[in-house]
């Protein structure tokens, strides 16, 4: 039986280079602490053996993983893609690695994922929105894992957040719609349970109605998961009512795309017969016909700033600063004055 060759360890490298494991470790983590000659000897041993450090061992010994976890509600559509991409680029630049998991918009799943990521030694967490059980925040405190909230900006909440004011943003869009003369408004919202963003967007519409002399009670509202098909079905229901709306404000672009396509199927002209708006300004918004008038969210900026803020929290043990970002209305063709 020859000795089974398995993955080389620090020890193997040390032996081959004729130094102690401490020196090898230093070569890898803090090269200037070891003299050039030794370093070269060690590095060539590393190459020769094809050594890769064992991450688990490293995390355990150093109690530091240079890993940041992100739990996003979904990977299925592009809502979070761009922001997350920017987030990951930024942390990569600063020597961190991103671990992503998705919760499918389910609070229990999210909690499990948070625990998993923490157990895996994540140095910090990126969370979407503020809504979650206090137990989770307690847990994070106890484990001393800093977390940053994105896609929402509510400075008075327990966690620092980098995002935009969902309510204000949607209010602005709704005022635009109302300003065009629309009086019968409807909204297709995401599920509001456990989702502050969705809830605040609806509130924003009501705010706009209120301040423009429309009763917020007349807002027709359907809640449904963020899927194109659901947007379509909700739109069908809305338009099948006795007093169909003249404008449908959707909680995001995915729902809006569903609505637009359903309109086409039903032979309704957008915006001729009914106006439709989105939220997020993802790629889809430009591609669908007619292109969506929607709310532009500075996804990349948000991702980048969230990364910077979170790393700041990790490295200087600070408590984290909230930052508000500006959104803007993107005018395309799915919104017009009522016909």
Partner DNA sequence: ATCAATAATGCAAGCGCTTACATTGATGCT
Partner DNA sequence: AGCATCAATGTAAGCGCTTGCATTATTGAT
Contacting residues toward DNA, per CB under 7 A: 7, 9-11, 18-26, 28-29, 33-35, 37-39, 51, 53-54, 57-58, 60-64
| Cα separation, 80 vs 307, whole angstroms | 14
Choosing among a second copy, DNA, none, which partner's interface includes residue 284 (Cβ < 5 to 8 Å by kind)?
a second copy
In the complex, least distance from residue 119 CB atom to DNA, rounded to whole angstroms: 8
Longest CA pairwise span in the chain (Å): 87
10 Å CB burial of residue 269 (0-12, 13-18, 19+) is: exposed
- Cβ atoms of 238 and 248 closer than 8 Å: yes
Choosing among DNA, a second copy, none, which partner's interface includes residue 128 (Cβ < 5 to 8 Å by kind)?
none
Q: Of the ranges 22-30, 77-85, 216-224, 233-241, which one interacts with a second copy (CB under 8 A)?
A: 77-85
Report residue 189 CA to chain centroid gap: 18
In the complex, least distance from residue 51 CB atom to DNA, rounded to whole angstroms: 7
Q: Write down the number of H helices and E strands in the chain.
A: 13, 12
Choosing among DNA, a second copy, none, which partner's interface includes residue 118 (Cβ < 5 to 8 Å by kind)?
a second copy
**Positions 272 through 331 that interact with a second copy (CB under 8 A):** 283-284, 287-289
**Contact between 128 and a second copy (CB under 8 A)?**
no
x/- string (CB under 8 A) for a second copy, residues 89-108? Answer: --------xxxxx-------
Angle at 150 between CA 308 and CA 320, to 5 degrees: 50
Residues that bind a second copy (rule: CB under 8 A) add up to a total of 44
- Cβ neighbours for 161, distance < 8 A, ≥ 6 positions apart: 130, 148, 149, 150, 152, 153, 154, 155, 322
- Cβ atoms of 233 and 253 closer than 8 Å: no
Choosing among a second copy, DNA, none, which partner's interface includes residue 82 (Cβ < 5 to 8 Å by kind)?
a second copy
Give the number of other Cβ atoms within 10 Å of residue 215's Cβ: 9
| Cα separation, 98 vs 84, whole angstroms | 10
- Cβ atoms of 290 and 260 closer than 8 Å: yes
x/- string (CB under 8 A) for a second copy, residues 202-221? Answer: --------------------
Choosing among DNA, a second copy, none, which partner's interface includes residue 84 (Cβ < 5 to 8 Å by kind)?
a second copy
In the complex, least distance from residue 45 CB atom to DNA, rounded to whole angstroms: 12
In the complex, least distance from residue 167 CB atom to a second copy, rounded to whole angstroms: 29
Q: Which residues of the shown chain bind a second copy in the complex (CB under 8 A)?
A: 5-7, 50, 52-57, 59-60, 65, 75-78, 81-82, 84-85, 97-101, 115-116, 118-121, 139, 142-144, 228, 257, 261, 283-284, 287-289
């Amino acid at each position: 039986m020859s000795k089974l060759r398995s993955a080389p360890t620090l020890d193997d490298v040390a032996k081959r280079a004729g130094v102690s494991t401490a020196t090898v470790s230093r070569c890898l983590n803090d090269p200037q602490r070891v003299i050039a000659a030794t370093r070269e000897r060690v590095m060539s041993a590393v190459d020769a053996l094809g050594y890769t450090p064992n991450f688990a061992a490293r995390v355990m010994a150093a109690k530091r993983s240079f890993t940041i976890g992100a739990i996003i509600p979904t990977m299925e559509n592009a809502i979070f893609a761009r922001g997350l991409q920017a987030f990951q680029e930024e942390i990569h630049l600063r020597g961190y690695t991103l671990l992503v998991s998705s919760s499918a918009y389910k609070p229990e799943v999210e909690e499990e994922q948070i625990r998993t990521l923490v157990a895996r030694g994540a140095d910090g967490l990126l969370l979407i929105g503020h809504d979650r059980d206090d137990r989770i925040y307690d847990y994070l405190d106890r484990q001393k894992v800093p977390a940053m909230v994105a896609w929402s900006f509510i400075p008075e909440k327990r966690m620092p957040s980098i995002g935009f004011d969902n309510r204000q943003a949607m209010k602005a869009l709704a005022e635009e719609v109302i300003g065009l003369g629309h009086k019968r408004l409807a909204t297709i919202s995401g599920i509001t349970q456990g989702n502050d963003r969705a809830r605040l967007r609806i509130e924003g519409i009501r705010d706009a109605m209120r301040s423009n002399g429309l009763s917020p009670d007349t807002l027709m509202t359907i809640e449904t998961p963020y899927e194109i098909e659901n947007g379509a079905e909700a739109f069908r229901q809305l338009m099948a009512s006795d007093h169909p709306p003249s404008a449908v404000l959707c909680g995001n672009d995915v729902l809006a795309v569903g609505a637009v396509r359903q309109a086409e199927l039903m032979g309704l002209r957008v915006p001729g017969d009914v106006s439709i708006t989105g939220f997020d300004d993802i790629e889809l918004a430009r591609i669908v016909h007619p292109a969506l008038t929607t709310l532009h969210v500075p996804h990349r900026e948000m991702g980048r700033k969230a990364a910077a803020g979170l790393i700041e929290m990790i490295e200087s043990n600070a408590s984290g600063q909230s930052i508000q970002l500006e959104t803007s209305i993107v005018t395309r063709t799915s919104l017009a004055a009522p016909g």
